[in-house]
Amino acid sequence: MALTDQENDWMSAAFDQAKEALIAGEVPVGCVFIHEGEVRARGRNTVNATRNATRHAEMNCIDQILEWCQSNNVNYWDVFKCIDVYVTVEPCGMCADILGKLCIRKVVFGCSNDRFGGCGSVIDVPKLYGYSFNITRGVRAEEAIGLLKDFYKGENPNAPTGKAKRKNSR
């Protein structure tokens, strides 16, 4: 599916967030939430920085929307129903579930998430729970894969003991 110029700009904004995550030593996933044609939230993974495994890009965007709604005295249920999500990697099961519970309108993502994907790669959360958001897959997938490869070439100092890459002693 071809994106409009504006949709491409939104996906580029998500990739900007993913690149920031990579620079910060986080898994490079970036996300933007679009409401009424405007970027209302920008997020990236902050799992390592916060030492909180739930701080995915989507969850950080949700928090920003809730803050925006409170500041603007707007009902968040009404806002989330009009949210379009642009994210560089397929949402995990946790994120797909909360996006469905919040009744967002659609998700556009880059590459599939073969380890934790919640929109069909590992588990199809929308189908499982009857969520009706539209899904567009594979947008700039190679670029998203490239960022993930760049991250996994390095060592994650925040990985649990026994999970960090070991240096080859040969």
7, 58, 67, 143: the active-site residue: 58
Q: What share of the chain is helix, strand, coil (3-state, %, to 5)?
A: 40, 20, 40
67 has catalytic annotation = no
Distance, CA of 160 to CA of 47 (rounded, Å): 13
Q: How far apart are the first and last CA of the chain?
A: 47
- d(CA 125, CA 92) in angstroms, rounded, equals 9
Alpha-carbon distance of 32 to 11, in angstroms, equals: 8
Strand order in the sheet with 134-136: 38-44, 30-35, 83-89, 106-111, 134-136
The three-point CA angle 119-61-160 to 5° equals: 70
Give the active site residues. Answer: 58
